[in-house]
Amino acid sequence: MKSKKFISIFLMIILSTLILSSCGGGGGSSNEEGGFAGSVDVTGKLLAPDGQTPIAGAVVYVPKDYSQQISISSFIQGQNSVQCETPPEQYMAATCTAADGSFSLKVNITGNKLTLKFKKGAFKKTISVDLTSSKLDLGNVNLPSDPDQGAPKMAVVTGYYDAIENVLAKLGFGSINSGRLEPGTEKFDFYDGDYSLDDTKYPNFDDLFVDKDMDGKPDIYKYDIVFINCGTGYENDILTDSSKISIIRDYVEQGGRLYVTDLSYDFVEQVFPEFIDFYGSDSTPEIDPENMDAAQVGNAGITTEADVLDNTLADWLATVTCVDSSNNPVDCINTSTNKVQIEGFLGGWAVINGPHPSHSSDVKIWVKGYVSWSSGSGEKPLTVSFPVGKGKILYTSYHTEPTYYINGLLPQERILQYLVFF
C-alpha cells in the first residue's frame, strides 16, 4: 500500500511540474541555474553620443557566441521599412533600427544573459543584459564617442571656409560653446589644413602621409574616417604628389572613409576621377583627373529647395529638429515634397554634372537641387557617395554650415550628421 501511495504522489509531482512549465501565457520562467527560458521581446532606441540624435538603419543583432550558454530557437525580425547591412559575424537574431532609432526583436531564448551588438557604418557598440523577464526594454542606447569603447577613430583636417568639427561636436564628439566646438574636448584628432592651429600641439595635414607612429604605414591608416574641410592650404602640395595620391586611394580601398566638402573637391576628382563628372574639362577622359579647380564656378549666396532622394534620410529628417541661419526653428524637411532648404553657398563652389556613365550604378545621389553657376543654371547633384574597394567616399558641394555661431543645426548639417554614420 505504501509503495502505491508513493508512486501516486510522485506522479502528481511530475504532472504539476509539467503543467507549470507549459503555462504562463507566452512568457518565460527562471530555470534551475537561475537563467531565463521563454519568449523575450527586446526593444529600445539607438542614439548618437549626444543622447538625442536617432541612428537610423543600424543593424542590431545577437552574436552566435557559444560561450554565452544561450539557445535561441526562433526569432522575429523587427518590423520596419528600413534596410541595413548584414551583421559582420555569425548571428542568431538581427533587426534594423527605424528612422527614429527604435528597434524591436522577439526571440525564444534560454540563458542567463543576452549580448546585443549594434553597428552602423564604422560605429559599434556591445551591451550585455541579464535575462529576468519576457519584456526587455533597453530604453535609449547611446553609441560611444570614445574610440576605446567602439567609436571609430576620426581625423578632421581644418579648412578656411568650413567647420565639420562643429557638426561632430553637436553629435556628441565634443562640447559646444556658442555653436562651436570647445577646443580640447574633441573626441577626434585635428590636423591643421589652414595654418590656424598651434604647431606645437597639432600635426599638419601632410603629416597624415608620414609614418610618425612607426607602425610601418602612413598615419592616415590609423583612422576609420578622415574629414577634409572646405579650403586647405595643402591641396597643391598633396595632389601634385603621385605617392600621396596613391596613399589616399589605397587608404580608401582598404576600408577607410573619406568625407570631403566644397572647395576641397579635388581630393575626390584627382584621386578617384572615374566616378564623378565635375563641371569643366569636358574633353578629359573619365578615367583621368580633370583640371584642378575647373569645377569651382558656383554662384555665391544662393539658396535652394533641394530634393532628398533617399527615403530613409527623408524619414529621419522628419524626426529631428532644425534651425535656419538666424537660429529660428524650422522644419528639417517638407514632408509633403521631400525638400530641404540648403543655404550659404560659397562663391566658386564645385559643380557636379553627375556620375560618369561607367559608374552610374555605383554613385548614390542623396540630394539634388536647382542652382546657378557662372555660365548657367539647372538641377545638379549636391550630395553624393560611392564605394571604392572596402571604403567609401562622401562629397557635398555646399558647406555644412554658413556660419559658426548657431547653436542649433541647419538642415544641411543634419544631412551630414546622418551621413557620418553611413
**Cα 419 to Cα 366: distance, rounded to the nearest angstrom:** 10
Q: Which burial class, exposed, middle or buried, applies to 67 when counting CB atoms under 10 A from its CB (0-12, 13-18, 19+)?
A: exposed
Q: Distance between alpha carbon 370 and the CA centroid of its chain, in Å?
A: 27
Answer for the pair 399, 391: CB distance below 8 angstroms, yes or no.
no
What CATH homologous superfamily does 152-420 map to?
Class I glutamine amidotransferase (GATase) domain (3.40.50.880)
Interacting residues of 14 by C-beta distance below 8 A, sequence separation 6+ = none
User: What is the pLDDT tens value at each position of the chain, 422 positions in all?
Assistant: 545 544 454 444 444 443 333 333 345 544 445 567 788 889 999 999 999 999 999 999 998 875 555 555 544 444 455 788 899 999 888 899 999 999 998 877 777 888 999 999 999 999 999 888 889 999 999 999 999 888 999 999 999 998 999 999 999 999 999 889 999 999 999 999 999 999 999 999 999 999 998 999 999 999 999 999 999 999 999 999 999 999 999 999 999 999 999 999 999 999 999 999 999 999 999 999 999 999 999 999 899 999 999 999 999 999 999 998 888 999 999 999 999 999 888 889 999 999 999 999 999 999 999 999 999 999 999 999 999 999 999 999 998 766 656 788 999 999 999 999 98
CB atoms within 10 A of CB 81: 10
Burial readout 327-360 (b: 16 or more C-beta within 10 A, e: otherwise):
eeebebbeeeebbbbbbbbbebbbbbeebbeeee
- Domain 27-142 matches domain 152-420 at the CATH topology level: no
- Cα(331)–Cα(55) distance, integer angstroms: 19
Amino acid at 23: C
Taking the domains of the chain in order of start, what are their residue ranges?
27-142, 152-420
**pLDDT digits 0-9 by tens, 77-112:** 444 557 888 999 998 888 999 999 999 988 777 778
Contact (CB, 8 A) for 264 and 349 = no
pTM for the whole structure: 0.88
Q: For residue 71, what pLDDT is reported?
A: 56
Whole-number Å distance between alpha carbons of 304 and 371? 7
First-to-last alpha carbon distance for the chain, in angstroms, is: 76
Q: How far is it, in rounded angstroms, from Cα 362 to Cα 353?
A: 15
If one looks up domain 27-142 in CATH, what number appears? 2.60.40.10
